[in-house]
Structure 1
């Protein structure tokens, strides 16, 4: 039996839900031991970057941990000690508690992000980055198996031999949205393009803005939806202005997002050339594919290696290349070819497929 443990929020960060679904499809019984902390990823990173916010994090964390301890005791009374404890995404602190509560279980940490690396990507320097990097080392040392999403991230572990690479994948709700009938695209209809995210440097949103602006200025028929807010949002808004072909939404409820993305032809991934941008395959790439969209993203080693011809790859930090690719995809025949390749790539991002390396690692133990 596997216990999915921690303060994760599967609605805001569905990665753990993908892992649970995949493990269940492979025949594992999964018991959920979960007390959501209630902070978004951006809020957690902000607290780690701004020490005066930490008391709120600590108080909330301790309250959740008290509940988790009680839940863990109840679980052991009902079913005995779990063979495996899966600590969900953003479990840098939770994995320490898991190690203490389940000293004889195999502890698996889903380590999608390195705190020090993420803080550095968002502009932090010096002591804060060193402390967060120390937290990464402590967290990964507490785990028996560390799940990362790319070989590049596995290589950042102090013990890469403990690492298992499992793609992020997408939840069933994204596949359900992608399986619904899509509105017919008539001759002359604009290419429907969507971007959603936190407008962080990793995502390269200013590159998107410049690429979209160039395409629109060249007369490419586009209908663009920009969803989210964050660090680079003001610069993006300034470049695109109030263009009639661009629609802005500050927030979309998680339950609504898959259907909204699936109503578009193209989903945009990431386009930065930052060190972190060269190492990751973002959630939106997997989710866009699952939703039945053509996904345009940067041509980086992990994205090419992971999904290859299923994606429309353009050079990182190159708005002209992005504009040219959007112009190509606005042509019906080119779009249909790209869509056929994207649909063929969906199987690789289903929950059952993405957990196979983890299943193999657990079987070996």
Structure 2
């Protein structure tokens, strides 16, 4: 029996980890999980992970999860000790998270150089490197893949969890209901969407719900107030999945990603997949990453010609587009599952080989 060891898993219920572990379990792969030690510093955590990994018994592959890139050296030592392959999930890189997504540091800062080095090591030390889109794979090869032997890169789409189930669009009585959920960070480009909402004509009836960490919402609340949209937009703190499902069923449009970074243009975000699978219209930028699924879900995507406010407002008011494709949107869940299955089957075959 093939055995794998997951190292430094932050959350076993996180959709990406769950999708990977479930696909392996279905193929009869035996998996052991070493969870991330909490309430201790980096050095002690690393040593504890290393000890747990070395003592874990036989394994054929060591898998470093999506939030653990900075611990790649730990996973590499464990893999070498076990004579196993090292699989690194690069879905959440250090540089893009701290420099591009959140703009926590500038691109010229020492931190930026350090994070890029960590990402480089994660890429170079891996035998198999996982990423979520072809566009991001190509970006990785341009950045890090110039040497003679880059790792094998497998594309594993984010896809949608089981709770993102299709349901008919609710009645338009009371207007169009727009839903945004996620973190308030530059990656999502929510300010562009807010400006787009301010360009909606007065005869178009709409409302919006923004769900995310309340402590980070103040700049967006201020912008909403400045544009005179306070009576149209409701801010809610982050909610558990069961409540998010209710909000998803109650909306017509899910907001995707409108950021300017290379990741924003190459990723297909969780909420884009979830909105599609739930049979909703997804308003998101027409990016190189989105191009990979654009033709598969033509009736699910609202893609403005650019990210200008008038373009976003224009496609939101194009209700004729909403009148067609309801059956296709309702069936989108099946196509999401087929798309995921194709890519995950390749991954499982590689682990079993």
Query: Shared topology, TM-score over 0.5?
Result: yes
Q: How big is the shift at 1:342?
A: 4.2
- Structure 2 CA distance for partners of 1:338 and 1:294, relative to 1, 3 Å: farther
Q: How big is the shift at 1:74?
A: 5.3
Aligned match of 1:110: 89
Aligned match of 1:228: 212
CA-to-aligned-CA distance 1:294-328 (integer Å, 9 cap, x gap): 22211112112134341222234222222122212
Structure 1 counterpart SS, 2:313:
helix
What is the correspondence of 1:283-322 to structure 2 with a 5 Å cutoff?
Answer: 283-310=270-297, 311-322=301-312
What is the correspondence of 1:346-361 to structure 2 with a 5 Å cutoff?
Answer: 346-348=336-338, 350=340, 352-361=341-350
- Structure 2 CA distance for partners of 1:344 and 1:313, relative to 1, 3 Å: farther
Structure 1 counterpart SS, 2:266:
coil
CA distance in structure 2 between the aligned counterparts of 1:36 and 1:170, rounded to whole angstroms: 28
Partner of residue 150 from structure 1, selected from 133, 136, 140: 133
CA distance in structure 1 between the aligned counterparts of 2:320 and 2:44, rounded to whole angstroms: 52
- Structure 2 CA distance for partners of 1:8 and 1:308, relative to 1, 3 Å: farther
CA-to-aligned-CA distance 1:239-281 (integer Å, 9 cap, x gap): 3225333211122134532343233222110113333322211
Q: More helix per residue: 1 or 2?
A: 1
Q: How big is the shift at 1:107?
A: 1.1
Aligned match of 1:54: none
Structure 1 counterpart SS, 2:10:
coil
What is the correspondence of 1:53-92 to structure 2 with a 5 Å cutoff?
Answer: 59-69=40-50, 71-72=52-53, 75-76=56-57, 81-92=58-69
Is 1:23 aligned with 2:13? Answer: no
Deviates more, 1:289-298 or 1:353-362: 353-362
CA distance in structure 2 between the aligned counterparts of 1:255 and 1:66, rounded to whole angstroms: 37
Deviates more, 1:151-160 or 1:261-270: 151-160
What is the correspondence of 1:1-365 to structure 2 with a 5 Å cutoff?
Answer: 1-11=3-13, 13-35=14-36, 37=38, 59-69=40-50, 71-72=52-53, 75-76=56-57, 81-103=58-80, 104-121=83-100, 122-123=102-103, 124-126=106-108, 127-155=110-138, 156-157=140-141, 158-159=144-145, 160-172=150-162, 174-175=163-164, 178-179=165-166, 185-186=170-171, 188-215=173-200, 217-229=201-213, 233-241=217-225, 243-310=230-297, 311-329=301-319, 333-334=323-324, 336=326, 339-340=329-330, 342-343=332-333, 345-348=335-338, 350=340, 352-363=341-352, 365=353
Unaligned runs of 5+ in 2: none
Structure 2 counterpart SS, 1:5:
strand
Asked whether the 8 Å contact 2:70–2:94 carries over to 1, the reply is no
Unaligned runs of 5+ in 1: 39-58
CA distance in structure 1 between the aligned counterparts of 2:151 and 2:52, rounded to whole angstroms: 32
CA RMSD across the alignment: 2.9
- Structure 2 CA distance for partners of 1:132 and 1:316, relative to 1, 3 Å: farther
Asked whether the 8 Å contact 1:267–1:294 carries over to 2, the reply is yes
Asked whether the 8 Å contact 1:278–1:301 carries over to 2, the reply is yes
Aligned residues: 332
CA distance in structure 1 between the aligned counterparts of 2:308 and 2:349, rounded to whole angstroms: 39
CA distance in structure 1 between the aligned counterparts of 2:191 and 2:158, rounded to whole angstroms: 25
- Structure 2 CA distance for partners of 1:96 and 1:33, relative to 1, 3 Å: same
CA distance in structure 2 between the aligned counterparts of 1:251 and 1:231, rounded to whole angstroms: 10
- Structure 2 CA distance for partners of 1:303 and 1:253, relative to 1, 3 Å: same
CA-to-aligned-CA distance 1:185-235 (integer Å, 9 cap, x gap): 3353422221112122221111110112222x4332223111114898444
Structure 2 counterpart SS, 1:75:
coil
Asked whether the 8 Å contact 1:7–1:37 carries over to 2, the reply is no
CA distance in structure 2 between the aligned counterparts of 1:84 and 1:271, rounded to whole angstroms: 37
CA distance in structure 2 between the aligned counterparts of 1:249 and 1:213, rounded to whole angstroms: 20
Asked whether the 8 Å contact 2:95–2:119 carries over to 1, the reply is yes
